[in-house]
Amino acid sequence: MMLRCLAIFACLSPLAWALDQQSIGDQITRALYQSPERVDDPILLGAASRLLRPIHQASDWRDQPLRLVILRNDQLNAFAAPGGVMGLHTGLFNEAESADQVASVIAHEVAHLTQRHFIRRQDSQSKVQAAYLVGTLAALAAGFSGDPTLGTAAMSATQAAAIDQTLAFSREHEREADRVGLQLMSDAGYATDGMAAMFDRMQAAQQLAGQPLPYLSTHPLSTDRIADTRARARTDRDNIAVSDQEFRLWQAVGTGAGLNTLPLADIGRIGYQMQAWTWLQQDKTAEALDVIEQGQLSFPRDYALLIFKAQALAATKPEAALDLYAQAGELHPYFAQPYLDAESLARSLGWTAEFYYYGAWAAERSGQPAKAQRQWQRVSEMDSALAIKARGYLKPEN
Q: How confident is the model at residue 202 (pLDDT cuts 50, 70, 90)?
A: confident
How high is the pLDDT of residue 183?
A: 92
| From 26, 41, 100, 109, active-site residue | 109
Sign of CA dihedral 34, 92, 261, 44: negative
Q: How confident is the model at residue 10 (pLDDT cuts 50, 70, 90)?
A: very low
Q: What is the pLDDT of residues 278-317, one digit of tens each?
A: 999 999 999 999 999 999 999 999 999 999 999 999 999 9
Higher pLDDT, 135 or 328: 328
Work out the percent of the chain whose per-residue pLDDT is above 70: 71
| From 178, 193, 341, 364, active-site residue | 178
User: Strand, coil or helix: what is 304?
Assistant: helix
Give CA–CA dist 376/370, Å, rounded. Answer: 10
Q: What is the pLDDT of residues 75-88, one digit of tens each?
A: 888 888 888 999 99
Residue 387 CA from chain centroid, whole number: 31
Burial class of 101 by CB neighbour count within 10 A (0 to 12, 13 to 18, 19+):
buried
Sequence spans of domains, the chain: 2-232, 257-392
How high is the pLDDT of residue 361?
A: 98
pLDDT higher than 90, residue 335:
yes
Is 158:136 a contact under the CB 8 Å cutoff?
yes
User: In 3D, which of 182, 186, 184, 180 has the Cα closest to residue 199?
Assistant: 182
Mean pLDDT in residue range 158-176:
53
Q: Options 2.60.15.10, 1.25.40.10, 2.60.120.260, 1.10.10.60; which CATH number does 257-392 get? A: 1.25.40.10
Average pLDDT, the chain: 81
Residue 156 CA from chain centroid, whole number: 27
Q: What is the pLDDT of residues 86-117, one digit of tens each?
A: 999 999 999 999 999 999 999 999 998 898 76
pLDDT higher than 50, residue 159:
no
Q: Is 109 a catalytic residue?
A: yes
Q: Which of 6-20, 242-256, 329-343, 370-384 has the lowest mean pLDDT?
A: 6-20
How high is the pLDDT of residue 258?
A: 65
How high is the pLDDT of residue 220?
A: 63
Q: Which of 2-6, 250-254, 345-349 has the lowest mean pLDDT?
A: 2-6
Q: What is the pLDDT of residues 19-51, one digit of tens each?
A: 477 887 888 899 899 889 999 999 999 999 999
Q: Is 178 a catalytic residue?
A: yes
